[in-house]
Structure 1
Amino acid sequence: MAFHLKTSNPAFTPYFWNDNGQHTSTMTVRGIFIKSVLCIMAIMAVTFGIWTLHEQGVDVSWFTYGGLIGSVIISVIISYKTHWAHILVPLYTITKGCFLGGFSAYVRAKFPDMPYQAIGVTIVAFFTTLVLYQTRIIVVTKKFRSVIITAAATIFVVYLISFILNFFGIKTFIWGTSWVAIIFNVVAAIVASLSLLLDYDFIERHKNRAPKYKEWLATWGLLVTLVWLYVEILRLMRKLAIKF
């Protein structure tokens, strides 16, 4: 059975889920939950390890950039080799842990409690959106999907252009602490939170239908959104702390 639904998360596009074969074992919410928890725990372990290295005076910038580049490369491979997800997603988890560890280590050096606060806000956002989805207070409609997809794509383009310009020494507004930069971060965090609703919706439509190995793809999709949300929250909190 083929599904033609859209989501702002690239891991939840129909390309990864269309499957006309017969499978004795199918994807379950329980399986996704277990894999997601294990991956999150692994990310946290790697992050704490890099924090320790940073406290010892080690330059962790290599972890930051290496983790970022590595996660992008692995994501591209997953896109084409979905059957390798059970191997690639754990590797993606490690690279994301390296990126988050290095990225948040610099914030933690100046604001020791901020990463923990950002984790707390991310957890609250996750469960809040889950409750909103399960209770159908927010219904994921076609129009809702279109708005979130458009917003997420726009934010991605802005970040991409800003990163490219940054290599040439040109700083765009998103890196500063102006009100425009802060508002952009707020909007990005809200869109990231609402993207979770699209992920829940897509998983619900495919549970007990998609083959078992695609639990790893669903886990990857959730990690992509949660990491994005955490980074946006941490950047926003840092900007607010500096400005005020």
Structure 2
Amino acid sequence: MRSSNPVFSRRGFSRDNGMAGFNAQPQAGGAAVGTNPYAQGTVTGNPYATNPYAPTTAPVDGGQPTRSGAMTIDDVVSRTAMTLGTVVVTAALAWMLLPVDENNLGKSYGIAIGAALVAFVLAMVQSFKAKPVPALILAYAAFEGVFLGVISNAVSTYISPGVVAQAVLGTMAVFAGVLVAYKMRWIRVNRRFYGFVIGAAIGFMLLMAVNLLVALIGGGDGLGLRSGGLGILFGVIGIILGACFLALDFKQVEDGITYGAPRREAWFAAFGLTMTLVWIYLEMLRVLSILQGDD
């Protein structure tokens, strides 16, 4: 499994060679060739028959069987709490230690941009690794937190003191809304959904890159996609894309638990969720900043 977010794509728990296993459901005693990426060899009966992370004890009172060394929802929650906690702590430290007044704004911005570049490189390295490296993921979270702390402090100082809290609450609301919609099956994550989201995200990122390039060459706001009415529109589109990637994250967590992914894969899940939530927060912060800056 690799990180699913607007910048990086990953192979999901239920997909072999990309998209093969979308919509594949485990069948107790049924054929499962190509559906369980954690099974070893060709399985013609129980999909967990040769999987070292398969259930090892029988269900108790109709409950779920326990798995030896397999990922659980508690693993995902604890790893995600560690990565998000690292982001929050380093963001708070950056807010306090890197002032954004007129005398220090340039220096603080420079540190923030440097931290963002380091975070990007660390995320790229982890995204192309076959196994999660907790140190890399936590380092990414730390540098991302420095960037977010400076940017949030600047927005709070020069636009509105309450905009950061509003962006955090908005991000939490998006997360809760997508989780409820996913659990209620109002969102169906299938091959078509995956293809649409990835295609839309690539188009969105290319358009933002062109806007940045035009801004660097011609000055100003480039194509005007980061301010005014267009800025709000594309900010909302970015939030919607982030919500779609949350649904993909939830699908991959669900599949990992269903198919008995090894416990280390919980770090990949935490990595993807953290990146997606950071994306949503930044887009939420931008939209609210434009709205309140026009008041």
TM range (shorter): 0.7 to 0.9
1:185 aligns with 2:235: yes
1:87 aligns with 2:160: no
Kept in 2: contact 1:12–1:221 (CA 8 A): no
1:117 paired residue number: 166
Distance 1:132 1:84, change over 3 A: closer
TM-score, scaled relative to structure 2: 0.73
AA matched with 1:30: D
In the alignment, what sits opposite 2:247? Answer: 197
Work out which of the two has the higher radius of gyration on C-alpha atoms and give 1 or 2. 2
Structure with more relative contact order (C-alpha pairs < 8 Å, separation 6 or more): 1
**Runs of 4+ off more than 6 Å:** none
Paired position in structure 2 for 1:138: 187
2:157 is equivalent to residue 157 of structure 1: no
Match of 2:87 among 43, 46, 52: 43
1:137 deviates by 2.0
User: What's the CA shift for 1:188?
Assistant: 1.2
- SS of the residue aligned with 1:172? coil
Q: In the TM superposition, what is the alpha-carbon distance from 1:169 to its structure 2 partner?
A: 4.4
Distance (Å, rounded) in 1 between the aligned partners of 2:90 and 2:186: 36
Equivalent position to 2:263, from 201, 207, 212: 212
| Preserved contact between residue 54 and residue 60 of structure 1 (Cα < 8 Å) | yes
Partner of 1:174: 225
**Per-residue CA distance 1:81-124 (angstroms, 9 max, x = gap):** 34352111000110110111122121011211111110011011
Residue of structure 2 in register with 1:13 after alignment:
11
Higher helix proportion: 1
Please name the residue that 1:63 is paired with.
111
Deviations 1:198-220 (A, max 9, x none): 11012111225222212111111
Q: In structure 2, what is the Cα distance between the partners aligned to 1:13 and 1:172?
A: 34
TM-score by length of 1: 0.87
User: Whole-Å Cα distance in 2 between the matches of residues 167 and 158 of structure 1?
Assistant: 14
Q: Which amino acid aligns with 1:61?
A: Y
Distance 2:193 2:7 in 1: 14
Residues 56 and 96 of structure 1: is their aligned pair in 2 closer, same or farther, counting only changes over 3 Å? closer
Q: Distance in 2 between matches of 1:18 and 1:103?
A: 40
> 2:279 & 2:198 partners in 1: Cα distance?
15
CA distance in 1, matches of 2:210, 2:72: 38
Q: Secondary structure at the match of 2:135?
A: helix
Match of 2:73 among 29, 33, 49: 29
With 136-145 and 66-75 compared, the bigger mean Cα shift is at 136-145
1:127 to 164, 176, 185: 176
Displacement of 1:20? 5.8
Residue 98 in structure 1 maps to residue 142 in structure 2: no
The one-letter amino acid paired with 1:38 is M
Identity %: 23
Aligned residue pairs total 239
1:9, 1:225 within 8 Å by CA — same for their partners in 2?
Answer: no
Question: Which runs of 5 or more structure 1 residues have no equivalent in the other structure?
Answer: none
For the residues of structure 1 that align with 2:218 and 2:120, how far apart are their CA atoms? Answer: 23
Distance 1:52 1:127 in 2: 29
CA deviations on 1:21-71 (whole Å, 9 max, x unpaired) are 645512222111111112212211111111112448543213321121011
Residue 183 to residue 80, structure 1, CA distance change in 2 (3 Å): closer
Are residues 76 and 241 of structure 1, via their aligned partners in 2, closer, same or farther at CA, if it must alter by over 3 Å? same
Give distance in 2, aligned partners of 1:27 and 1:94.
25
